[in-house]
């Protein structure tokens, strides 16, 4: 670590931005420096602090004699970064305290150096008592916002602790082998031979490999030439469940950044006609980049709002529709810990209304005897089975289609729920709906 105080100042700015409502995905790049040896350390520090933010915040409230003012948001973030480091124990305590204090000046806050020093040293003196008081409150111990904690207990009375614990773990790195250019077993052997790296297949996701340890994509054999992609095994279920065939006309709604879109193309032998629809032009560029790297020709990016087909649909119905619906992302918190700070209780009802509206808008675009696969990366029933059940009640020509045996997870209303951590997967909900022939 070449510039320890500067590293902590950079981390504090990112954490403050996330606390103010920016995603990690947008806040972190602003502090990443070209060719800096500290970038990996920055990411670890930021992700660790955000992942444990709720517990750290509860500790900080006990340590402060009076609350910090709103204008002191970056100092609050710096103190949280310092507390995270002290709890992590990977750097000597005296160095953490000294460099966190030094970071005050880099943030233009020299006047609070004494406060930062006092708070961090008090934590070291009183750590056992402070931690015990915080952990006595269950949602703080599990590092969850109270509203989400209560929602999980209500939705999953038998599994809520499993969901909470899995959401606090470091996620595994899953690969998706491009079936147009090889198979998972052969690629796994290649990883062992070239990198001495073990990779475990998944029984329900034939193209998936779970790496024994994460590594940069540039090291993966053939990554730049499209032989493999990074994608959670849970997300890889979509292509198989939709049952896409060569020659079919397919809509992937809310497609960006394009991982599921590409998998659809790969599984169809790149012989389907796939419209990749998204409301964001910037995110559609990622779909194009992914298609180009994988050498796929069957994907056509289209800019448009899934709620307003009249603006982009050519009137030709689709054989298959994948609706990867916008959602709370409560099933992928282990990959996106900022979700716990960005989401609010009122968001869930609003998400459910949006999901239902998109379903209703897209259903007329499906051919008779066609299939629509509704997908979220949520574990909340209000976004999943409740939405699909309401849609089925108001749509006479729609009926649930049975999913194949052997999937991890359990039935949830008209669909299927995989909870975070089950067989190494993230949390996903899938519901496959068929359209009657007489529609």
Rounded distance between C-alpha atoms, residue 178 and residue 270, angstroms: 11
DSSP reduced 3-state for 34: coil
Tokens of 364: 């007329």
Rounded distance between C-alpha atoms, residue 216 and residue 257, angstroms: 19
Q: Return the DSSP state at 276.
A: E
List CB contacts of 315: < 8 A, sequence separation 6 or more.
none
Active site residue 432: no
Give the active site residue among 254, 327, 377, 432.
Answer: 377
Please give the C-alpha separations between residue 346 and each of 326, 350, 353, in angstroms, as whole numbers.
Answer: 15, 7, 12
Residue 309 CB neighbour total at 10 angstroms: 18
CA distance from start to end of the chain? 64
Q: Which of 335, 376, 330, 159 is nearest to 232 (CA)?
A: 335
What φ, ψ does residue 346 adopt, rounded to 5°? -70, -20
CA atoms within 13 A on the CB side of 64: 17
Rounded distance between C-alpha atoms, residue 408 and residue 425, angstroms: 9
What φ, ψ does residue 178 adopt, rounded to 5°? -70, 110
Rounded distance between C-alpha atoms, residue 215 and residue 330, angstroms: 25
Q: What is the set of active-site residues?
A: 377
């Amino acid at each position: 670590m070449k510039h320890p105080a500067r590293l902590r100042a950079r981390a504090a700015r990112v954490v403050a931005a996330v606390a103010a409502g920016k995603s990690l995905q947008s806040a972190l790049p602003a502090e990443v420096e070209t060719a800096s040896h500290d970038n990996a350390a920055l990411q670890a520090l930021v992700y660790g602090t955000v992942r444990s933010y709720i517990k750290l915040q509860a500790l900080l409230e006990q340590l402060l004699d009076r609350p910090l003012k709103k204008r002191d948001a970056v100092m609050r973030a710096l103190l949280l970064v310092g507390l995270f480091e002290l709890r992590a124990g990977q750097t000597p305590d005296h160095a953490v305290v000294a460099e966190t204090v030094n970071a005050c000046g880099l943030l233009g806050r020299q006047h609070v150096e004494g406060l930062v020093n006092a708070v961090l040293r008090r934590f070291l003196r009183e750590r056992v008592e402070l931690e015990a008081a915080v952990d006595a409150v269950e949602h703080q111990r599990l590092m969850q916002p109270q509203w989400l904690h209560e929602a999980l207990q209500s939705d999953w009375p038998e599994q809520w602790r499993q969901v909470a614990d899995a959401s606090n773990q470091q996620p595994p790195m899953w690969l998706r082998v491009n079936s147009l250019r090889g198979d998972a077993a052969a690629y796994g052997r290649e990883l062992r031979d070239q990198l001495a790296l073990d990779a475990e297949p998944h029984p329900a996701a034939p193209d998936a490999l779970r790496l024994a340890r994460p590594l940069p994509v540039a090291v993966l054999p053939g990554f730049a030439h499209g032989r493999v992609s990074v994608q959670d095994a849970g997300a890889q279920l979509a292509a198989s469940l939709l049952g896409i065939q060569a020659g079919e006309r397919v809509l992937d709604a809310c497609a960006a950044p394009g991982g599921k879109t590409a998998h659809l193309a790969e599984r169809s032998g790149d012989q389907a006609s796939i419209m990749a629809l998204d409301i964001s032009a910037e995110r559609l560029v990622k779909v194009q980049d992914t298609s180009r790297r994988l050498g796929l020709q069957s994907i056509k990016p289209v800019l448009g709002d899934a709620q307003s087909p009249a603006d982009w649909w050519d009137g030709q119905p689709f054989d298959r529709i994948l609706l990867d619906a916008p959602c709370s992302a409560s099933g992928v918190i282990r990959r996106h810990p900022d979700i716990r700070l960005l989401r609010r209780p009122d968001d869930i009802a609003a998400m459910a209304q949006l999901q239902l509206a998109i379903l209703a808008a897209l259903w007329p675009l499906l051919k008779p005897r066609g299939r629509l696969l509704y997908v979220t990366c949520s574990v909340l029933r209000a976004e999943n089975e409740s939405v699909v059940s309401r849609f089925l009640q108001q749509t006479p020509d729609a009926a649930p289609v049975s999913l194949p045996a052997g999937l991890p997870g359990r039935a949830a209303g008209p669909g299927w729920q995989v909870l975070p951590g089950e067989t190494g997967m993230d949390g996903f909900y899938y519901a496959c709906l068929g359209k009657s022939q007489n529609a």
